[in-house]
Amino acid sequence: MDLFDMQMEEGPKGKPLADRMRPRNLDEFIGQEHIVGKGKLLRRAIEADQLSAMIFFGPPGTGKTTLSKIIANTTSAHFEQINAVTSGVADIRTITTQARERLKMDNQKTLLFIDEIHRFNKSQQDALLPYVEDGTIILIGATTESPMFEINRALLSRSRLFRFELLTDQHTKEVLESAIKDPERGFGNHNIRAEEKALEHLVDVAGGDARTALNALELAVLTTPPDSDGIIQITIEIAEESIQQRVLQYDKQGDNHYDTISAFIKSIRGSDPDATLYWLAKMIYAGEDPKFIARRLYVHAAEDVGLADPNALLIAQAAAQAVDFIGMPEARIPLAEAALYIATAPKSNAVITGIDRALNTVKNEKTGQVPTHLRDAHYSGAKELGSGVGYKYPHDHKDGYVPQQYLPEHLKHKSFYQPSERGYEKTVTRRLDYFKERIEKGE
């Protein structure tokens, strides 16, 4: 028996293992207990056949299409399925026209499942809206993208959102074990012995994607000949060959992009160098634009470190220049250096707090006049108007400082910048306190 003979034997019409092993009902469905667990809203709605428009979103291989097929098997509504990649407005019109006739003649609703609904443009989504709104169709949209960015607000407001999470390691292992044991759809008719470490490796590298895990298992089984005892031995070496590279759940335009950069930033702000390096590595490995990473480092050197360590901004700038000057993969090193420097530097957000307070004052309070002694006295006739008269040049005074009013009259007691007691801002605080003492003494 060769590989092709085995493929012909596996399941109906030689379908891939991942397709054959799709759960057929809610009891077989693994994972997503937060939305289809016993007593949960969606499960109750499915079991009662009381469905409304909904959007399933989350990473690949987490069960969005599978759950839609389960709904198709249980609902009394007529079920239609299209893929947004290959369908357009004409298809929508055909389906909705038939759905309206079906509702009118047979009082039967139509459930329309649209896979990859984020591929529909605005006009295509708008074409769906009136039929969703009047109940002609019950929409189920599935997407790996964030619906907040990819789905029209009007359509979102009429749909319930259900977020699918990556499967846990235990759930993924259950999926693999079920495929090995199932004689009807899986490999239950074959004598397979999978090492525990081999299964653990497949689970780990699949990263919560059941489809990836099943595809790897299928490749391992179909390419491994039985030993002398007729046993297909799935060792750790075979598992490693079958799933050679971890497929990261990362899309530069979707939720994972924003969630990962958020984790990166919060790890920096939280002074955790290990987490900082991990999230940086994930972005680099997934092909994130290094200029985007450099820009975020630039911002947070000022926002989260500020004057607690002014060098942070310079190092972030150097990393940004390195990205342009040397490129990847070498630029990963200065990016990592900058990220670690900012993560381990003393933290202060006094800079951003100060500028935001000042901006808020400019926006909401009356505009003050520039004090006369601060006005420009260089242009012709300025001195005759009094501009610059009375200005005290700080370098002519002790310590390069002399008290004088710099803010407009109605704001002269206002304080915007309040340095922390961390890092270099300790020095700033001492210097400002010294100046205040000079003012109080009238020096």
Would you tell me the crossing angle of helices 196-206 and 169-181 to the nearest 10 degrees?
Answer: 120
Altogether, the residues listed in the chain come to a count of 443
Q: For position 379, what pLDDT does the model report?
A: 73
For residue 224, CA distances in Å to 171, 193, 238, 400 come to 25, 11, 8, 81
Determine which helix (DSSP H) or strand (DSSP E) holds 17, and give its type and residue range.
helix 17-20
Q: What is the mean pLDDT of the chain?
A: 88
Residue 8 forms part of a structural domain: no
- Is the Cβ–Cβ distance between 348 and 303 less than 8 Å? no
Helical spans, DSSP H, in 270-398:
273-285, 290-300, 311-326, 332-344, 350-364
Q: Do 40 and 151 share a structural domain?
A: yes
**Residue 234 and residue 264 in one domain:** no
Q: In this predicted model, what pLDDT tens digit does every residue of 46-104 receive, in sequence order? A: 999 899 999 999 888 899 999 999 998 888 889 999 999 888 888 989 999 999 999 99
Number of domains present in the structure of the chain:
4
- First and final CA of the chain: distance in angstroms? 100
pLDDT tens track for 11-31: 444 689 999 999 999 999 999
Range of the domain at 282: 255-344
Residue 429 belongs to domain with CATH number: 1.10.3710
Please check whether residue 22 lies inside any domain of the structure. Answer: no
User: Is the pLDDT assigned to residue 2 strictly greater than 50?
Assistant: no
Same domain assignment for residues 196 and 152: no
Q: Would 384 be classed as within a structural domain?
A: yes
pLDDT of the residue at 61:
87
The region of weakest confidence among 103-107, 249-253, 353-357 is 249-253
What's the whole-number mean pLDDT along residues 147-168?
Answer: 89
The model's pTM is 0.61
CATH code of residue 293: 1.20.272.10
CA distance linking residue 32 with residue 42, whole number of Å: 11
Give the CATH number, domain containing residue 56: 3.40.50.300
pLDDT in tens, 103-117: 999 889 899 999 999
- Per-residue pLDDT reduced to its tens digit, 274-299: 999 999 999 988 878 899 999 999 99
